[in-house]
Chains A and B, each alone.
Chain A
Amino acid sequence: MIEDHQTQQVPTNWRDAAMQQRIKKRYAAEKRFRLFGFTTVIFALGFLVFLIGDVVLKAFPAFTAAEIQLSVTFDSTAFGLARTRADIDAAEYGAFIKAGLAKRFPEAQNRTTKRELRELVSEDAERVLKAAVEANPDLIGKTKVFWLPGSDIVELYVKNQLNAKGVVGERLASDTMLARLNSAQSNGELRKTFNTRFFSAPDSKHAELAGIAGSAKGSLLTLFVTLLAAFPLAIFTAIYLEQFAPKNHLTDFIEVNINNLAAVPSVIYGLLGASVYLGFMEMHRSASLVGGLTLALMTMPTIVIASRAAIKAVPPSIRDGAVALGASPLQAVFHHVLPSAMPGMLTGTIIGMSRALGETAPLLLIGMVGFFGDIPSSFNDGTAVLPVQIYIWASATERLFAQKTSAAILVLLLFLIIMNATAIYFRNRFEKRW
């Protein structure tokens, strides 16, 4: 029967036209697929470049601040005779600034124009003067020329952004103000500086003073808490479920629930955090501790799932090899399975942490979305985090805040890059050891 079949079989003609046609079709399909793939990659890259380019361009002005030159006289009557520390603290530096401005712009006589004068110099200037006197009490009674931080108007003027039309909430300087700015500019009394304050100051109601330091530190503290709470818990959960737990209905149930937890909208975790940490455990509202623990609830399932996949990917033969040498199950897991799974676990952790870094919704419910004028100094201090800061600045109308929004986005991206780089570093380190 088999022989019969063979004698009947016609040899395939690999060269006939239909066959050539099929070959052509196959190659064409492959070419098409590559082209599609290439196009989509280019498309995605284009979006990325556009997004980042746009953010960078918009953020750039935020790194420039303006300073205005002013000759300030420290009237000795404003300080007590003893010129004690308390005297220096209590002195009215605003008055010195007012006097200095009045001297520089003597044409301002009525109340309105005088108030306008004051708007040239940022509130922070008082702190600058005070610091100068504290550092050098001999200044009292003397006159000195200072470069003082300019107000938002000065900053916009220096950046050529004053009176640009079409910006919502744009500050419009009056004609007299503009004349003064022009005269100061032509006298070389205005200058641009690098905006160090943006990196060292907390948020502020004054656009020119607002900085990223408060929310950046808030993010760091929060993420630290998240990592500390979520990582060990998740790793141990994953190890237990994957390597030790008996396979029964209970563990099936747990598995299904962990997968469900990873898909729960993050705002729900905020509710949970609010009721457990704030309501039941009475922790501090808006604190990075509460924020971190809330985000840990959200991050844990993600790490568990990634870690279980990583553990599952370790060939059982490795574990068998260790067990056959007389390693206890615990030793086999910790000496062999875990190191092999670690890169995957770390990747999962970083993915979870990156998500936590960008979260705002759950923080809404524990009071972390709001204005915080201080840099948090402990885990119990109320603080915002970077995405919250971005949200708050983005909804402010001043143009300077718009620039800071982009700058804050850049800082957030930088955080993400650092985190991913760390993950890659650890991954390579673990892999090299083998």
Chain B
Amino acid sequence: MASTPAPQPQPKMNRLGLAVLDYRGGKTTLCAGCGHNAISERIIDAFYEMGVQPERVAKLSGIGCSSKSPAYFMSRSHSFNSVHGRMPSVATGAVLANQRLIALGVSGDGDTASIGIGQFIHLMRRNLPIIYIIEDNGVYGLTKGQFSATADVGSKLKTGVINELPPIDTCSLAIELGATFVARSFSGDKRQLHSILKAAIAHRGTVMVDVISPCVTFNDHEGSTKSYKYMKDHEEPLQDVNFVPAFEDIAVDYDPGTSVNITMHDGSQLRLRKLEEDYDPTNRIEAVKRLSLAHEAEEALTGVFYINTEKPNFADMLNMTDVPLATLPEERVRPSRKVLEECMEELR
């Protein structure tokens, strides 16, 4: 009765021979429907499809529901859930210690725009090689729904409280301060977020992506400008974002009349099909201006606002030796007896 067993369905593999399972994390403890969970899914897909060795990734976060999420993706990557608002400094230290790591920072709008605004600003200014994601819901989810500094004027809490203070636009800030890849997306815009994240992986410098990520428990009601409904109704993409990794067939055509094509450091292509004529994502001043206009018009503008593939990043500027500082052997970090003798002679 022997018969050939039916072949097991082979899981799909990426170019490293890893399955998407290898990029999964622990089971989420966030609320069902929380935007943050969707972002975790996109991160998993992007890193899997880009064929990034999970062991090369360092996940870093602050404190908040959003900052917990690194536990829910890529368990094979080291992770550091640090203190509230200070992830940028921890990430900076980690990258200096080992510049081969791919740093992935996950923060919240409270974590970034309130307690962490100082470190955020300086991170942008240094153009540290890192992908910095703000999971932006306009409230402090973990402390039960108070307004954050990205809440729009006039947006309403469940309790009826109305926000009267102007929001901090983390994208404008990031562009002005020196980040070299700045985008905004929406956790519900699967395709756009996916492409932006893949491009982010190919960039060398600070990638700052503000992802509107509804908090279903505290900020998804009528009157909120960060709800699913509001975003579905109001999202205005600046471009249609496409990304072609270096290891895929780059030759696919694009029309320079209708698309902006950006060649990334590794040869990948970021293709932005213009939905607005003449928007040039390599022009800093124009980008900031466009964001100001969006505020005036109360538009929920998304897309890649700014990209600069030339500017040296912080790790380059420090001229560190190629071997990660963390693993330099003793003979390279402890000068010789002769050097000590020389130092002593100077002081005699």
A and B found bound together: no
A residues neighboring B (CB under 8 Å): none
B residues neighboring A (CB under 8 Å): none
